[in-house]
Amino acid sequence: MSNLPPAAILLIGAIILPVLPRAVRSPALVAFMAAALGWLAALRPGTVFSAPFLGYELVLLQVDSLSLVFGYVFGLIGLLGAIYGFHIKDTGEQVCTLLYAGSSLGVVFAGDLFTVFFFWEIMAFSSLYLIWARRTTQAGQAGTRYLIAHLFGGSLLLAGILLHITQTGSILFSPFEGGAAAYLVLLGFCLNAAVPPLHFWLTDAYPEGTVTGSVYLSAFTTKTAVYALCRGFAGWDILVWAGAIMAVYGVVYAVLQNDIRRILAYHIVSQVGYMVCGAGLGVALGVNGSAAHAFTHVLYKGLLFMGAGAVLYAVGRSKLTELGGLARAMPLVLVLYMIAAFSISGVPGFSGFVSKSVVIYAAEAGHMGTVALLLNLASVGTFLSVGIKLPYFTWFGPRRELKPVRIPRNMYIGMGLTASLCILIGVYPALLYNILPFAMDYEPFTVHHLMQAVQLLGFTLLASWLLIGVLGGHSAIVLDIDWLFRRPARLAYAVFVVSVSNAFAAIDRAASRLAGQVAGLSHNPVGCMIEGARFVEHCATGRVGLDPDREPRDFDPHRYRVLCGAMVLVVVLSFIVLLAWLLVAL
């Protein structure tokens, strides 16, 4: 039992939960999450649990300092999300929450590629339900696209794993050195990490998830991919530039969005860019920065989605053009949201300040000034959209005729606990630094770093005050990479649906006519042959039409029909001939 993987607790909980009385399912969900977190706290580096399978040794549990960092924060957000969603009574959503959290932990503590893939697929399908559970047309369509994207990513991952095993004979999850197999696995991981242009599924589906489901969606899928990149691809230069581009790409599109949860979804892309960049740097400081930022991001991004979810729950709307004037009705939600906004923006004293700066410092230490500049620019865009634009037009701005409903108390408790952790880590970063994979000597509260943060945030605040009139949301949809399947949609529909349908209809009509002709021939074969012969005669002699003296005007189908007795005679004679042939042959 001491080697029981933490994932097992949540997977067992997913089996037990549906048979429990409805009244105790929410407390049971919290209890299972708390038990998993407690079990994680008891794990020690070096713990291994394996089992034989088809001639291979599956490593179901492999504990080290890297897996523990991600395991701790997954356990924390699982518990905090369960408290936030305590009022949820959808059994399917509760079960899939346990499966999602459990499979994410399964990936983090997996020591072999088969186990990684097994939990990877559970993670994809369980997270899908958290989108579909909202039960809207948009959620259904976005969930379908989400499923297609992850089936494609899972296929890439499986192909890479099988090729890797064929080439090396090993299933262990260890650093990749290159080759076709490594690149296939890398593409599978990058799709889950939402590296552009493989990110469209995230910004399309996460805003359509349930209020509670989007909190978990923001936490698990992309961060398990970051863990996988740190584990298998640390030091790959391509990830450095991919991460830097992600950081800027995400904030540019976030500034253009109108839906509050879509703004936050694009900032997942941006913030994961810091983590991908840190993994690509490969040095101890870079991997530490990636792990540290993943830890803080799970918490403050979860809190951001909690705040946005509270607004959606209260007024049923999430577009900036339909929100405004909620500060008096929802002041506590505003305060808790701003704690998360200050954290993601890197305001001193909040968690993001002590984590993203590690990645930037690692880039500077590696003499990659352009990368560091791009990451700093991304911080400006983050504060502009998440710290200023979203709260201003949601809680202030034009007043709307909105009547918020009462928010359940458990949502405030979940947000309050998460906000406390964001502040605690920001004030006392040693709590985070002490559990990172590598020891490091880094001090975030230097004069240089503080002045840099104040200057960036100050100028951003000034610019937003001057341009606040043009920052408001617009009802039009801002197309991203989804242009590839939205703009050509009508043409594709005409080519691949309408034209194909018309072709099948034409084939069906031709088949029906052929069937009618065959039926006529079978109905009166002698008459059809006589009519055919007369048609040839008419064509040869030049006469048009039928001779009334030889053929009545009204065709009688029985005129040329062979008598039943004649057909019986033909069959009997055929049988006699066949029998005679057999006797002669014998």
Domain ranges of the chain: 1-233, 237-474
Q: Is the pLDDT of residue 99 over 90?
A: yes
CB–CB of 345/352 below 8 Å?
Answer: yes
Query: How confident is the model at residue 381, as a pLDDT?
Result: 87
Q: Is the pLDDT of residue 496 over 80?
A: no
Is beta strand 56-62 parallel, antiparallel or unpaired with respect to 48-53? antiparallel
Length of the chain: 586
Which of the four pLDDT bands, split at 50, 70 and 90, describes residue 34? very high
Residue 53 bridge partners (DSSP): 56
Which of the four pLDDT bands, split at 50, 70 and 90, describes residue 553? very low
Query: How confident is the model at residue 264, as a pLDDT?
Result: 95
Q: What is the DSSP letter of 428?
A: -
Q: Is the pLDDT of residue 186 over 80?
A: yes
Which of the four pLDDT bands, split at 50, 70 and 90, describes residue 201? very high
Q: What number is the average pLDDT over the span 25-43?
A: 95
- Of residues 567 and 41, the one with the higher pLDDT is 41
Quickly tell me which residue has 């002669």 as its tokens.
Answer: 584
Which of the four pLDDT bands, split at 50, 70 and 90, describes residue 438? very high
Which of the four pLDDT bands, split at 50, 70 and 90, describes residue 463? confident
Q: Is the pLDDT of residue 17 over 70?
A: yes
- Of residues 538 and 215, the one with the higher pLDDT is 215
Q: Is the pLDDT of residue 221 over 80?
A: yes
Which of the four pLDDT bands, split at 50, 70 and 90, describes residue 24? very high
CB–CB of 84/306 below 8 Å?
Answer: yes
Q: Is the pLDDT of residue 544 over 90?
A: no
Query: How confident is the model at residue 568, as a pLDDT?
Result: 79
Q: What number is the average pLDDT over the span 225-230?
A: 97
Which of the four pLDDT bands, split at 50, 70 and 90, describes residue 56? confident
CA distance linking residue 468 with residue 398, whole number of Å: 12
Q: Is the pLDDT of residue 353 over 90?
A: yes
CA distance linking residue 342 with residue 356, whole number of Å: 13
- Of residues 419 and 487, the one with the higher pLDDT is 419
Flag the least confident range among 243-252, 297-306, 486-495, 547-556.
547-556
Q: Is the pLDDT of residue 472 over 70?
A: no
Residue 66 to residues 137, 235, 480, 576, Cα–Cα distance (Å): 40, 15, 34, 89
Q: Is the pLDDT of residue 358 over 70?
A: yes
Flag the least confident range among 79-83, 308-312, 373-377.
373-377
**Percent of the chain clearing pLDDT 90 (strictly above):** 63
Query: How confident is the model at residue 505, as a pLDDT?
Result: 87
Which of the four pLDDT bands, split at 50, 70 and 90, describes residue 421? very high
Helical H segments across 257-350, by residue range: 260-281, 284-315, 331-345
Which of the four pLDDT bands, split at 50, 70 and 90, describes residue 150? very high
Tokens linked to 495: 């080519």
CA distance linking residue 219 with residue 346, whole number of Å: 19
pLDDT per residue over 247-285, tens digit each? 999 999 998 888 999 999 999 999 999 999 999 998 899
Residue 464 to residues 81, 91, 388, 470, 480, Cα–Cα distance (Å): 33, 44, 7, 9, 24
Residue 361 bridge partners (DSSP): none
Tokens linked to 385: 């959209």
CA distance linking residue 251 with residue 375, whole number of Å: 11
Query: How confident is the model at residue 75, as a pLDDT?
Result: 96
- Of residues 53 and 71, the one with the higher pLDDT is 71
Tokens linked to 585: 């042959």
- Of residues 543 and 395, the one with the higher pLDDT is 395
Q: Is the pLDDT of residue 101 over 60?
A: yes
∠ CA 348-453-248, rounded to 5°? 110
Between 221-232 and 65-84, two packed helices, what is the crossing angle to 10 degrees?
180
Residue 179: which H helix or E strand, with range? Answer: none
Sign of the dihedral through C-alpha 523, 527, 529, 533: negative
Query: How confident is the model at residue 408, as a pLDDT?
Result: 95
Q: Is the pLDDT of residue 555 over 60?
A: no
- b/e sequence 176-199, b meaning 16+ C-beta within 10 Å: beeeebbbbbbbbbbbbbbbbebb
Distance of alpha carbon 240 from the chain centroid = 23
> Residue 540 CB: number of other CB atoms within 10 A?
8
Query: How confident is the model at residue 511, as a pLDDT?
Result: 86
- Of residues 492 and 152, the one with the higher pLDDT is 152
Q: What number is the average pLDDT over the span 474-494?
A: 68
